[in-house]
Structure formats: structure tokens, C-alpha cells
């Protein structure tokens, strides 16, 4: 892996960590800006490197660096919100794969890729929330409560970020593709520079 590619991955790992500290506390699941970095990593780095940036973020947190919204360390896997972090890894991949596979270039199509990524994150998050509350915290939530606190309550803000990121990605992605050597970002709709 080239030094330039490593620096791109590290940049999005850092952006995810920064997003963890910009949060609005709501019951069970704090609303953070981490999902911005997930959308951007997948779209701007491609599926594999986007996934790698989020995997690095999770591993750094698990070894004890306090980059998660509520600290860090291996014990974080027992927290009800850990499933969302796992969702970030696959969510970045889903976003990048959809954008690359279907050459998505309009704001609307990128929004739907972001939405698929968001639903992936929430799927992992809600499953983990339900299990952790039932077997670890031993304060079980019903399926309705899990969906309400784990999806319906935080989702409106993330949907707004879906739209915002679709606009950013649509404007920034073709420009970045011209200056990077990341093969996943090369598309017919990106005009080469001379």
C-alpha cells in the first residue's frame, strides 16, 4: 500500500474519531457526526479503503485509545452501542460499492447509496443494542423500544446528513478522482486532466 493511500485511510479514520466527540446526548444512543465520515470514506476512497478506514478506527478504539463517543478499550464491545461501530465498517463498504458499481453521480442516486449505508449501520446497531441490553446490561428492551431508541429517535438527524453528504460527494468526488491513484475512483464520467 502506498504512503499516499495510507494517508487517505488515516485521514478518514481521524475524521470518524473527531465526529465521535461532536454529539447530542439522547437516550441510549448519542447522536454524533461519525456517520459523515462513513459516507465520505466509502464514496471518496472506494469500498475497500473506506472499509479499511473504519476498521482502523474500531481497532484503535478497542486497543484503548479513547476515540469512541464514550471512551475506548476492549470492554467497549459489551456496550449497547458497539454494533453501530461494526455497522460503520460495512456501511462504508456498502456506500463505496454502490457508488462505484453503478457509477452514481447525481445527488439523488448518491443519497440512496448513503441511505443504504445508513440502514446497514442501523441494522447492526439495533441487533447489538437488543442483545446487549438483554444479555449484558440485563435491562431488556422490547423490539419496539429497540427500534424506537436505536433507529427512529436518532435517524432524522442522520437522514439530514445523508442529504448533506450527497451534495458534498457529488461536488467533491470527481475532483478528488483526478488527483488520486485510487483505481476504484476512476469512472467514465470523470474527465481526465491533461
Q: The C-alpha cell of 194 is what?
A: 491533461
What pLDDT digit, counting tens, does each position of 53-90 carry? 999 999 999 999 999 988 999 999 999 999 999 999 99
CA 58 to chain centre: 11
The whole-angstrom separation of Cα 73 and Cα 58 is 10
What pLDDT digit, counting tens, does each position of 109-143 carry? 999 999 999 999 999 999 999 999 999 999 999 99
The whole-angstrom separation of Cα 194 and Cα 17 is 37
Cβ of 193: how many Cβ atoms within 10 Å? 6
Average pLDDT over every residue of 15-30 = 86
The whole-angstrom separation of Cα 75 and Cα 52 is 22
Confidence of residue 25 (pLDDT cuts 50, 70, 90): confident
Pick from 70, 39, 41: which is nearest to 56 by CA? Answer: 41
pLDDT at position 191 over 80: no
Confidence of residue 192 (pLDDT cuts 50, 70, 90): very low
Pick from 150, 31, 21, 9: which is nearest to 89 by CA? Answer: 9
Percent helix, strand and coil across the chain, each to the nearest 5: 70, 5, 25
3-state secondary structure of 68: strand
In the prediction, which pLDDT does 181 show? 63
In the prediction, which pLDDT does 185 show? 62
In the prediction, which pLDDT does 52 show? 98
Pick from 109, 144, 114: which is nearest to 130 by CA? Answer: 144
In the prediction, which pLDDT does 30 show? 76
What pTM does this model have? 0.90
pLDDT over 90 percentage in the chain: 78
- Residue ranges of domains in the chain, CATH in brackets: 3-179 (1.10.1760.20)
In the prediction, which pLDDT does 104 show? 95
pLDDT at position 167 over 60: yes
The whole-angstrom separation of Cα 102 and Cα 109 is 9
In the prediction, which pLDDT does 27 show? 72
Q: Could you tell me where the DSSP H helices lie in 102-154?
A: 107-131, 143-147
Amino acid at each position: 500500500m502506498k504512503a499516499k493511500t495510507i494517508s487517505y485511510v488515516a485521514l478518514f479514520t481521524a475524521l470518524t474519531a473527531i465526529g465521535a466527540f461532536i454529539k447530542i446526548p439522547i437516550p441510549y444512543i448519542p447522536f454524533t457526526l461519525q456517520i459523515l465520515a462513513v459516507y465520505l470514506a466509502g464514496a471518496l476512497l472506494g469500498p475497500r479503503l473506506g472499509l479499511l478506514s473504519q476498521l482502523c478506527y474500531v481497532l484503535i478504539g478497542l486497543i484503548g485509545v479513547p476515540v469512541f463517543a464514550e471512551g475506548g478499550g476492549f470492554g467497549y464491545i459489551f456496550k449497547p452501542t458497539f454494533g453501530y461501530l461494526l455497522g460503520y465498517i460495512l456501511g462504508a463498504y456498502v456506500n463505496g460499492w454502490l457508488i462505484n458499481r453503478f457509477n452514481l453521480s447525481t445527488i439523488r442516486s448518491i443519497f440512496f447509496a448513503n441511505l443504504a449505508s445508513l440502514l446497514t449501520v442501523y441494522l447492526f446497531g439495533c441487533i447489538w443494542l437488543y442483545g446487549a441490553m438483554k444479555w449484558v446490561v440485563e435491562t431488556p428492551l422490547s423490539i419496539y423500544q429497540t427500534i424506537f431508541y436505536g433507529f427512529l429517535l436518532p435517524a432524522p438527524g442522520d437522514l439530514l446528513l445523508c442529504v448533506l453528504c450527497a451534495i458534498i460527494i457529488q461536488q467533491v468526488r470527481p475532483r478528488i478522482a483526478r488527483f488520486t491513484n485510487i483505481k476504484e475512483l476512476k469512472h467514465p464520467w470523470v474527465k481526465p486532466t491533461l
